[in-house]
Amino acid sequence: MNNFNFYNPVKILFGKGKIAELSKNIPADAKILMTYGGGSIHKNGVYEQVKTALKGFNVVEFGGIEPNPHYETLMKAVEVVKAEKIDFLLAVGGGSVLDGTKFIAAAALYEGESAWDIAAKQLTVSKALPLGAVLTLAATGSEMNSGGVITREATQEKFAFGSPVLFPKFSVLDPQITFSLPQRQVANGIVDAFVHVIEQYLTYPVNSPVQDRFAEGILLTLIEEGPKASTAETPDYETRANLMWAATMALNGLLSTGVKTDWATHMIGHELTALHGIDHAVTLAIVLPGVMRLMKDKRREKLLQYASRVWNITEGTDEQKIETAIQQTESFFRQVGISTLLSEHQVGQDTINQIVERFTQRKMRAVGAQQDVSIADVGELLKTRL
Amino acid sequence: MNNFNFYNPVKILFGKGKIAELSKNIPADAKILMTYGGGSIHKNGVYEQVKTALKGFNVVEFGGIEPNPHYETLMKAVEVVKAEKIDFLLAVGGGSVLDGTKFIAAAALYEGESAWDIAAKQLTVSKALPLGAVLTLAATGSEMNSGGVITREATQEKFAFGSPVLFPKFSVLDPQITFSLPQRQVANGIVDAFVHVIEQYLTYPVNSPVQDRFAEGILLTLIEEGPKASTAETPDYETRANLMWAATMALNGLLSTGVKTDWATHMIGHELTALHGIDHAVTLAIVLPGVMRLMKDKRREKLLQYASRVWNITEGTDEQKIETAIQQTESFFRQVGISTLLSEHQVGQDTINQIVERFTQRKMRAVGAQQDVSIADVGELLKTRL
């Protein structure tokens, strides 16, 4: 196991009716900016629940944060924060609203020239407005971590940012809130959480049995519960609760303690979203089988562990076991309703060339924390996903 | 899954040489009380490492905190805190030193008549001195939680206490520090962590696959790594690192999220320590098989899951599977060098009577969070452990 630091001060309020506890967790004299997305919270009753819980607080609203939140939109929220002298942000939404709100929290106190540099130049964020969250979609893990990803519409660039000052003070996770989600978003969440785990698990062994078994435990839960959520006529509380907790635990820093992480699939996927607006989770489902196959020799040991412990594959040669595990992974994505090929999104070789070109222009020699997926590899593996 | 809140702001500094990072984690102007136990840190080099890391800080020392830390000793430390105007506590030791230091932190700011009431009357602790820890023994999990257990020598009483203000600000976990531990303490730590997991796992199912698999992952790690640590001629870093992380994760609040916990084994074990000074972990190893057997009908479902997933038991009737799992559990304790019977400690029926009498006097009808182990049951199950 490698040396590591771990710190996660987010208070989780999990379960039925937990929105009612909001008022106990926000300073009584706070002036709150309540941020949200396209307005689904007006249809599913979440807006009313939150407003009721915030009775007596001074609340300003900022809606319209889009999926893959745009820098341009978020800077409008920053203007509101400054004009209204906001001192607490409450994100009500999924990963995009949370990520966007973290960026607003940092940008509102940023003193440099362009707040875009926080993401583009990976600046150290040392101060931010406090924020809390009411999660409406189990997926990104943003509710219990200190990072985010934003997109600049003007340049079609998508970058990650993060800082310990961006941990939410609290996150409310009421699985009932996810009942009204469109099937597509539920499926996206399952795949997103699954690939988050894979990115912190499927590289090289470092003798980390606790972390490995935690990762496998989350993957097994997603494999068992995911299809139930995707096919149920009416949402089941327990299924949704287990998916929500699995997604939160998938990216709160615990799985990555002391191990070798990857994130190659995410880095490649981000480009597909930036260029074609494909849902984040779908890009991961497209890219991951390609990464797995390309790395089947280098990452053999961990792939065999994955095949055995997660998919219970005991038959065949090592090569066959790994191939079966990759096929099962792709089948699982398709089973929950997520497409896994570029051609299903009318994306062809020209985009692959464009992505390789972009990485090359950024003077990158490889993607991922292990730097074992070269830019040439990116082109090769994407070809297998056409 | 039940509703829950989860909050754990402890910063973990894990790995080789991490003591050197102490100075970055304590306010520069702090006046520190460094607490420790019987003086083993003077022999194993930890004292020098800590003092070197604290160069430039104003440090007062308080040694002599005993195993099952005594209220009487801790109150002497409180006097030092007040006399020296201490504003930061640094515990250097195992669970007893950490638990004791948490009590000092609370008692130093306690304004009532007797600080013993914090434990005896389970008072709400709303303020405490900040504390940090350098862990020397992987066992109790105190390094990443907000609770402790102390003993009053005068009355042979042992009680738990806790409060969110008692989380350490940070805990340094360097597995190398555990190399010089006596075998008995290493073995105690393994069993202690194991039973901590069991207390949060082996009751009644609530559909909590993530929590269950996390628990099983820690148990499997302890079963694999424990015997290695107990038999190795020279300590192995990786083994010690995995045991240390397993023990920390075993009692940091994560496993108990949303599930039905127990703690019956601990409550009974505490009495054996209070009355006979038997090592805490040994009391757990004595009591647990008795609790498991007594509860084999009520807790059948979870016991069968435990037999299957932790011990890989597939043969026999349900009854036989459970009995085999209980025997394997006891064998594991003995394998790492821990005794499991009262007679091995010259404890007989008179002590059992005394424990039942004590519980009865405290007007308890049952022990444990599920209240499914009656006081009569306590007498019955202890008889099977003679």
Q: Is A299 in a helix, a strand, or coil? A: coil
* pLDDT single digits (tens) A116-142: 999 999 899 999 999 999 999 988 999
Determine the residue among A210, A225, A240 to mutate to test chain B binding: the one whose Cβ has the most chain B Cβ atoms within 10 Å: A210
A230 has a pLDDT exceeding 90: no
Position B119: which residue type? A
A156 has a pLDDT exceeding 90: no
Of A12, A224, A249, the CB nearest to B5: A12
Q: What is the mean pLDDT of residues A197-223?
A: 98
d(CA A69, CA B345): 65
What's the confidence (pLDDT) of residue A42? 92
d(CA B150, CA B5): 26
B39 has a pLDDT exceeding 90: no
Q: What is the mean pLDDT of residues A56-64?
A: 97
- pTM across the whole model: 0.97
CA distance B131 to chain A (A): 16
**φ, ψ for residue A373 (rounded to 5)?**
-110, 100
A283: number of Cβ within 10 Å: 25
Split at pLDDT 50, 70, 90, the class of B62 is: very high
A274 has a pLDDT exceeding 90: no
A278 has a pLDDT exceeding 90: yes
Q: Are the Cβ atoms of A209 and B217 closer than 8 angstroms? A: yes
Split at pLDDT 50, 70, 90, the class of B159 is: confident
Mean of the per-residue pLDDT values for chain B? 96
B9: number of Cβ within 10 Å: 17
A68 has a pLDDT exceeding 90: no
B150 has a pLDDT exceeding 90: yes
Q: What is the mean pLDDT of residues A165-174?
A: 98
Mean of the per-residue pLDDT values for chain A? 96
What's the confidence (pLDDT) of residue B230? 84
Token reading at A127: 């101060």
Which residues does B contribute to its contact with A (CB < 8 Å)?
1-18, 207-214, 216-218, 220-221, 224-225, 238, 241-242, 245-246, 249, 254, 257-258
Q: What is the mean pLDDT of residues B48-61?
A: 97
Locate tokens 């080789």: which residue? B16
Split at pLDDT 50, 70, 90, the class of B121 is: very high
What's the confidence (pLDDT) of residue A206? 98
Q: What is the mean pLDDT of residues A219-226?
A: 98
Which stretch of DSSP H or E encloses residue B185?
Answer: helix B183-199
Q: Which range has the worst mean pLDDT, A51-60, A66-75, A126-135, B153-162?
A: B153-162
Of B3, B17, B208, the CB nearest to A16: B3
Query: Whose CA is closest to B247, among B161, B186, B327, B308?
Result: B186
What's the confidence (pLDDT) of residue B343? 97
Percent of chain A with pLDDT over 70: 100
What's the confidence (pLDDT) of residue B75? 98
* pLDDT single digits (tens) B369-384: 999 999 999 999 999 9
Question: What b/e string do you get for A161-176 counting C-beta neighbours within 10 Å, with b at 16 or more?
Answer: bbbebbbbbbbbbbbb
Torsion over CA: A371, A372, A377, A379 (sign): negative
CA distance B318 to chain A (A): 23
**φ, ψ for residue A140 (rounded to 5)?**
-85, -20
* pLDDT single digits (tens) B170-220: 999 999 999 989 999 999 999 999 999 999 999 999 999 999 999 999 999
Domains of chain A: residue spans and CATH: 11-176 (3.40.50.1970), 183-383 (1.20.1090.10)
Q: Are the Cβ atoms of B224 and A218 closer than 8 angstroms? A: no
Which residues does A contribute to its contact with B (CB < 8 Å)?
1-18, 207-214, 216-218, 220-221, 224-225, 238, 241-242, 245-246, 249, 254, 257-258
What's the confidence (pLDDT) of residue B342? 98
